[in-house]
Structure formats: C-alpha cells, structure tokens
C-alpha cells in the first residue's frame, strides 16, 4: 500500500475509488509507507513543463522522493528540507527532460545521461547507486561532441 498525498508535509492515509478506463480500481494507502509519486505536474515559475526528474532514496521507486525541476544545474541537492546528495537509488525522468547525474568527483568526474521518459529502478545496475552529487536538467538534448581516440 502507498501514501497518495500529504497535508502540510505529513503522510496521510488515503482510500480512494478511482475510475480507470471505465473500471474501478481500489487504491488503498498505509501511513507507514512513503508517497509513491508526486501529485502535481505544474512547473514552478521559470521552469519548463515536463522538464523534471523524480529521485527516490530506495530502489524500485520506493522511499522518500522529490521532484527536481529544470532546466537547471544543481550543485547542492538540498530539496524540501532534505539533502539527497549520495542518497539517490532510483529515478524517473520527465517527458521533456534530459538529465545528467554526476558523482561530483573532481578527479574522475563520472556522469550518466538519461533521456525523456527513462526509468531506472536500480542505479546500482550502472554502478551509480547513492553516488549522485550533481544533477543537470536540460529541456533539449545535449550536443554530442566526438571523443578522443
């Protein structure tokens, strides 16, 4: 069961009947589990619709999460009173976002690019679990540059 809403940052159990394609689905919520998905798709002022990434503390889109809007580059991952630096385990990229996760290591500087609509349920599969320290969001594809051989 999942929490489907918050009131004043407090988890609220919800029991809803939702019509989905003509049938009813029963959605139950339990106060001991985190919110599954953000409810609001409206971008803040100065941000682009669909240019966001949802970051989750745990694999499989579980645990606490936050929606980060772009276009922007975030060197500091403090959102909603929590620092997500080194806590991100799964991500969902918005429909109009290109997202670069960076480990912030000045010596090695490892990055992972993700494309619109991409879902990564376990960043550990690409050796990036809990390593993100910088997030870059773009509302258009990055320009590709040839690599040195």
pLDDT at position 82: 79
How would residue 42 be classed by pLDDT, with cut points 50, 70 and 90? confident
pLDDT at position 143: 84
Classify 97 as helix, strand or coil.
coil
Angle formed at CA 141 by CA 90 and CA 82, multiple of 5 degrees: 35
Strands (E) in the chain, as ranges, are 5-7, 10-12, 15-20, 23-28, 52-58, 62-69, 72-74, 78-79, 82-83, 90-93, 98-102, 111-114, 119-120, 134-138
CA–CA separation, 110 vs 37, rounded Å? 28
pLDDT at position 99: 96
CA–CA separation, 136 vs 72, rounded Å? 6
| CATH of 52-138 among 1.10.1040.10, 3.40.47.10, 2.60.20.10, 1.10.1200.10 | 2.60.20.10
Which residue has better confidence, 48 or 17?
A: 48
What is the average pLDDT across 114-131? 93
B/e letters for 25-36, b = 16+ CB within 10 Å, e = fewer, are eeeebeeeebbb
Mean pLDDT for the chain overall: 74
User: Domain segments of the chain: what residues?
Assistant: 1-36, 52-138
The lowest-confidence range among 4-8, 78-82, 102-106 is 4-8
């Amino acid at each position: 069961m999942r929490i489907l809403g918050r009131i004043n940052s407090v988890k609220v159990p919800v029991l809803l009947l939702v019509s989905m394609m003509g049938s009813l689905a029963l959605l139950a919520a339990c106060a001991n589990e985190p919110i599954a998905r953000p409810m609001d798709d409206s971008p803040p002022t100065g941000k682009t619709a669909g240019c966001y990434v949802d970051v989750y503390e745990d694999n499989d889109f579980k645990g606490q999460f936050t929606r980060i809007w772009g276009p922007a580059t975030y060197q500091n991952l403090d959102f909603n009173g929590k620092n997500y630096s080194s806590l991100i385990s799964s991500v969902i990229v918005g429909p109009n976002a290109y997202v670069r996760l960076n480990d912030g290591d000045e010596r090695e500087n490892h990055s992972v690019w993700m494309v619109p609509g991409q879902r990564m349920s376990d960043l550990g599969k690409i050796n990036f679990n809990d390593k993100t320290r910088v997030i870059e969001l773009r509302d258009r594809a990055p320009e590709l540059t040839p690599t040195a051989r």
